[in-house]
Structure 1
Amino acid sequence: MTHTPKNVLIVGAGGVAQVVAHKCVQHADKFGGIHLASRTLDKCQAIIATLAQKNLPSDAITAHSVDALDVDALAELIRKIDAKIVINVGSSFINMSVMDACIATGAAYLDTAIHEDPNKVCETPPWYANHEWRKKDAFKAANTTAILGIGFDPGVVNAYARLGVDEFFDVGSVTDIDIIDINAGSHGQYFATNFNPEINFREFTGVVYSWQNSAWQTNQMFEIKRTDDLPEVGVQHSYLTGHDELHSLSKFLDVPNIRFWMGFGDHYINVFTVLKNLGLLSEKPVTLDDGREVVPLKLVKAVLPDPSSLAPNYTGKTCIGNKMRGKKDGKPSEIFVYNVVDHKAAHEEVGSQGISYTAGVPAVAAAILIADGVWDVGIMVNVEELDPKPLINLMNTMGLTTRIQDDNGDRLLEFS
């Protein structure tokens, strides 16, 4: 396949953006110019400075200052640098404005998380229908590609789900997909979140939605627990949690039960519960005695460690994957498709911890697949609507290897 390098714009300047920047430079032959933009130019320049620490050329990326909520300003930047691919790894509050700028300019759009309305928590499912999917017709009319949720979860786990349904079970026989996200690492802090605290806490303060018996079921956070013995991280507890990927997988895969489970330690649960019960995780403003307004959640965010600061001291591993059940050759069958990342190894390679690594690498892999024309579909899609094999093969060469446990043992998953 003939490859024409395409200029890429990375929007955001947090831990995931740092991974994306490093991976884009590592694969610079797949791109033309590489650009990094955020409201704060200093944050972009700080990420660029980390390239030299990893023996990468610091002049490979150009930094820009832009307010991503200003559609006209962002579109102007996209045109100025002739970006053909935009990787949105900023706050999920900006998804819709970045989308509008891509529609206006014809640049392909990628993000790693579902859009959030700052004034709403846990909207009516499916969440994509409240925001992103409303832009489907506009992307189609513009013949412009948008790939939603191409981090790890959502993202790679969506590809795992598609792969399982298509390749490892009898047609129409899959009954259960359990997505399990375990971070068995330690950052050494009394309490911290692995990415933006404001986004992190919002996931856990509302209703827990899961897809069961082909319908939405509601539960409370930390109400339902499971225990698994997982590769490299051992016996781990996780809790039924609402999450992005359920809201597209329930639409695009004919599977009656799709659940998301996230691991939490007792200490995290205790601190979270106190903060929530005190009202400190509310997104609604409160009035102080002097008449000033403050949003409790933003205050908590301000006093917690910056997630990007956790990376140097992070130890341990993550294990994220899909346990899937159905029938193979008419007999009950179960598989586990998964990835393991070491926090220390991620930091040594790109200067970020493993959570950021798992989110950033797939976005760059998808950008390469768009640049190569493999995933440049000219419409808006979720990951499970695409062929997962090119993604898995490419990630295997980029630091995120996929393995499978089934009746044939535990092995690397790759496709010829």
Structure 2
Amino acid sequence: MKKNVLIIGAGGVAQVVAHKCAQNNDVLGDIHIASRTLSKCDAIIETVHEKNAMKVAGVLTAHQVDAMDTPAVAALIRETGVQIVINVGSAFVNMTVLDACIETGVAYIDTAIHEEQDKICETPPWYANYEWKKRGLCAEKGITAILGAGFDPGVVNAFARFAIDEFMDEVTSIDIVDINAGSHGKYFATNFDPEINFREFTGTVYSWQNGAWQENAMFEVGHDWDLPVVGTQRAYMSGHDEVHSLSANYPQADVRFWMGFGEHYINVFTVLQNLGLLSEQPVKLADGGEVVPLKVVKACLPDPSSLAPDYTGKTCIGDVVKGIKDGAPVEVFVYNVADHKEAYLEVGSQGISYTAGVPPVAAAMLVATGEWDAKTMKNVEEMDPKPFFSILDQIGLPTRVKDANGDRAWNA
């Protein structure tokens, strides 16, 4: 059994991870939080104590580290004696943290595909550009690396696997639908790191259709989805992490990702993009200095974690999976609904951070008990989804299924 966890990152998602690790420290053991800014780690620890979140008495400690520095991360792993690293830092640090885990022989879990700061929307499949290149080394050294174990990617990958295994002989399409029907009350803000948020939507939209990569422009393809709890919502086909692993594991299926956007968001985004303010490339100023426009926009927008106290409404995220069963067409929607206010009251974060932060803790618990200790590199859909759903049910993100027989809990 693996115990003792190092959390990399100190943003809104890391706060959720810290609270959930604390609530389950009888399984996970000692908890360490590390970031470049020690005060942010200390602030998270303070919220954990304020909520009396520790299930049993134990270690909860802050550390300062540059996650881009592999030797420094490896040294911290050895110093703390952790056996599981949950990386919820920027997607820019995935490979350096993964390398530190491989070097020290500990399990690695992340929530998104690695990105390079000076590149946007590289040629797919994105995992193959970075993480998958380490797959052979993980297998050789017996290192467990669970990739993309947030909600999307992550839980939605497990939704797809579950729907296919339980309801179909053959899968024909997987449509991941992410709707945030909540309101934060700000003129304009992003629900997670603005730099990462905008980078997702400024490049080519890649989907996997008819056995090949298809390219579209952002906001080119929209669809109205009729969903439980949140009703009919407009969503647009977007490029997203999970399409790249699901298309590799289910190449016979069309795989698309849809995200909900309001007209106001689209209008502001379009103006920023047309002005060049979403560029990741530096521009020269009149005085000879340089700035990166995207970083300037990020600095001007509200910190996503600051949205939590006033956030209301719900999210609905799930997979519409279609296929064939006994020669007849079948369709199933596997999904979760989360509440922003409930998330804030429990862990002090808004619902988007909550849905992203709870799943990697569930994955860590499965690694700790051995059920997901794969001793190689895996994407979430390559793991048994049922124990994952069982823990998610217990710690705050219940899974539901809607099909021709009605709407029910996944295990009903």
Counterpart position of 1:255: 252
1:256-314 CA-partner distances (Å, limit 9, x unpaired): 31100000000000000000000000000000010010000000000000000000100
- Give the letter aligned to residue 93 of structure 2: I
Q: Which amino acid aligns with 1:77?
A: L
Structure 2 counterpart SS, 1:124: coil
Equivalent position amino acid for 1:159 in 2 = A
Question: Is 1:320 the counterpart of 2:317 in the alignment?
Answer: yes
Q: Which amino acid aligns with 2:100?
A: A
Partner of 2:71: 72
Q: Quick one: which of 213, 221, 230 aligns to 1:233?
A: 230
What is the CA–CA distance in structure 2 between the aligned matches of 1:78 and 1:53, rounded to whole Å?
A: 27
Does the CA contact (< 8 Å) of 2:280 and 2:293 recur in 1? yes
- Check conservation: 2:29, 2:58, Cα contact below 8 A: no
What letter corresponds to residue 89 of structure 1 in structure 2? V
Matched residues in 2 for 1:6 and 1:174: separation? 37
Q: For 1:90-101, list aligned pairs within 5 A.
A: 90-101=89-100
1:86 aligned to 2:85? yes
Would you say 1:279 and 2:287 are equivalent positions?
A: no
Q: How does 1:189-338 map to 2 (within 5 A)?
A: 189-338=186-335
Q: Does 1:369 align with 2:366?
A: yes
C-alpha distance in 2 between matches for 1:186 and 1:291: 41
1:36 aligned residue (23, 33, 41)? 33
AA aligned to 1:65 is Q
CA shift for structure 1 position 59:
7.0
Q: Deviations over 1:50-82 (max 9, x none)?
A: 112212359741000000111111100000111
Task: For 1:119 and 1:137, locate their aligned partners in 2 and report how far apart those are by CA, in whole Å.
Answer: 27
Please tell me the residue identity of whatever aligns with 2:308. A
CA displacement 1:180-199 (0-9 Å, x = unmatched): 00000000000000000000
Q: Is the 8 A contact 1:20 1:360 kept in 2?
A: yes
Q: What residue number does 1:151 align with? A: 150
Deviation (angstroms), 1:32: 1.9
Of the structure 1 ranges 26-35 and 327-336, higher mean CA displacement relative to structure 2 is found in: 327-336
Letter of the 1:246 partner, please give it.
V
Query: What is the match of residue 389 of structure 2?
Result: 392
Work out the CA distance in 2 between the residues paired with 1:158 and 1:116: 20
How far does the alpha carbon of each residue in 1:191-211 deviate from its partner, in whole angstroms, 9 at most, with x for none?
Answer: 000000000000000000000
1:211-249 alpha-carbon deviations (Å, 9 max, x no partner): 000110000000000001111101100000000000000
Hey, what's the Cα distance between the residues in 1 that align with 2:283 and 2:62? 37
Hey, what's the Cα distance between the residues in 2 that align with 1:239 and 1:56? 38
RMSD, matched Cα: 1.1
**Does the 8 Å contact 1:7/1:32 carry over to 2?**
yes
Alpha-carbon distance in 2 for matches of 1:76, 1:344: 39
The letter of the residue matching 1:302 is A
Deviations 1:360-397 (A, max 9, x none): 11100000000000000100011111111110111111
- Tell me how far apart the structure 1 counterparts of residues 270 and 411 of structure 2 sit (CA, whole Å): 42
Q: Following the alignment from structure 1 to structure 2, what is the Cα–Cα distance between the partners of residues 72 and 163?
A: 39
Question: For 1:336, what is the secondary structure of its paired residue?
Answer: strand
Residues 322 and 338 of structure 1 are in contact (CA less than 8 Å); yes or no, is this contact kept in structure 2?
yes
Superposed CA offset, 1:75-106 (max 9, x none): 00000111100000000000000001000001
Equivalent pair of 1:5/1:32 in contact (CA under 8 Å): no
Deviations 1:7-59 (A, max 9, x none): 10000000000000000000010022110000000000000111122123597
CA-CA distance at 1:407 after TM superposition: 1.6
* One-letter amino acid of the counterpart of residue 125, structure 1: P
SS of equivalent residue, structure 1 residue 374: coil
Q: Which SS does the other structure have where 1:327 is aligned?
A: strand
Identity, % of aligned pairs? 67
Q: 1:329 Cα shift?
A: 2.3
Distance, in Å, in 2 between the alignment partners of 1:68 and 1:138 is: 21
2:337 is matched with which residue?
A: 340
Alpha-carbon distance between aligned partners in 2 of 1:32 and 1:181, rounded to the nearest angstrom:
33
Moved over 3 A (4+): 57-60
Partner amino acid for 1:111? D
Measured after TM superposition, the shift of residue 137 of structure 1 is 1.6
Encode CA deviations 1:101-153: one digit per residue, 9 max, x unaligned.
00000110000010011111000000001000011122112211000000000
Q: What SS class does the counterpart of residue 21 from structure 1 fall into?
A: helix
Distance 1:306 1:59, change over 3 A: farther
Aligned-partner SS, 2:245: helix
| Cα separation, 1, equivalents of 2:125 and 2:46 | 40
- CA deviation string 1:303-329 (max 9, x = no partner): 000000000100000000000111222
With over 3 angstroms needed to count, the CA separation of the structure-2 counterparts of 1:60 and 1:81, relative to structure 1, is closer
Deviations along 1:134-182, one digit per CA (max 9) or x if unpaired, are 1112211221100000000000000111111111112xx2111100000
Q: TM-score, normalised by structure 1?
A: 0.97
Please, which runs of 5 or more residues in structure 1 have no aligned partner? none
Do the aligned residues in 1 keep the contact of 2:2 with 2:84 (CA within 8 Å)?
A: no
Equivalenced residues, count: 410
Q: CA deviation at 1:254?
A: 3.7
